């Protein structure tokens, strides 16, 4: 799923029954921190492409937004809002 509209200047309210997915080609995480933070404002799960981080640098992702946890597998990196798992379990 692609984020088709730029919501970076808007804050959206998160509803526990709605899950918002975003994808972002960041072309190197270290130079895209602000844009990733903007995506964290609107999405519950953010998939990052072209992060260009070494395995030992993946901890940077956990420091972008305190509300999000980071996971990585091979080439896929994603951030997810910590509260969504609890909210979805209690639907």
Which tens digit of pLDDT belongs to each residue from 63-72?
999 999 998 8
- Scanning 20-81, the segments in alpha helix (DSSP H) are 33-42, 59-62
20 with 41: CB under 8 angstroms?
no
Its CATH class, for the domain covering 21-89, is alpha beta
Look at the block and give the residue holding tokens 């080439």.
75
The domain ranges of the chain are 21-89
The reported pTM is 0.71
- Separation between Cα atoms, residue 18 and residue 71, nearest integer Å: 21
Of 7-11, 15-19, 25-29, 78-82, the range with the lowest mean pLDDT is: 7-11
* pLDDT mean across residues, the chain: 78
Whether the pLDDT of residue 49 is over 70: the answer is yes
**pLDDT value, residue 13:** 53
**pLDDT value, residue 42:** 92
């Amino acid at each position: 799923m692609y984020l088709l509209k730029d919501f970076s200047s808007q804050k959206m309210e998160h509803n526990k029954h709605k899950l918002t997915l975003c994808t972002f080609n960041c072309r190197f995480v270290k130079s895209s921190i602000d844009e990733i933070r903007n995506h964290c404002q609107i999405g519950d799960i953010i998939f990052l492409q072209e992060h260009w981080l070494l395995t030992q640098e993946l901890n940077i992702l956990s420091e972008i937004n305190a509300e999000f946890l980071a996971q990585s597998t091979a080439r896929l990196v994603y951030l997810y809002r910590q509260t969504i798992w609890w909210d979805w379990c209690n639907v």
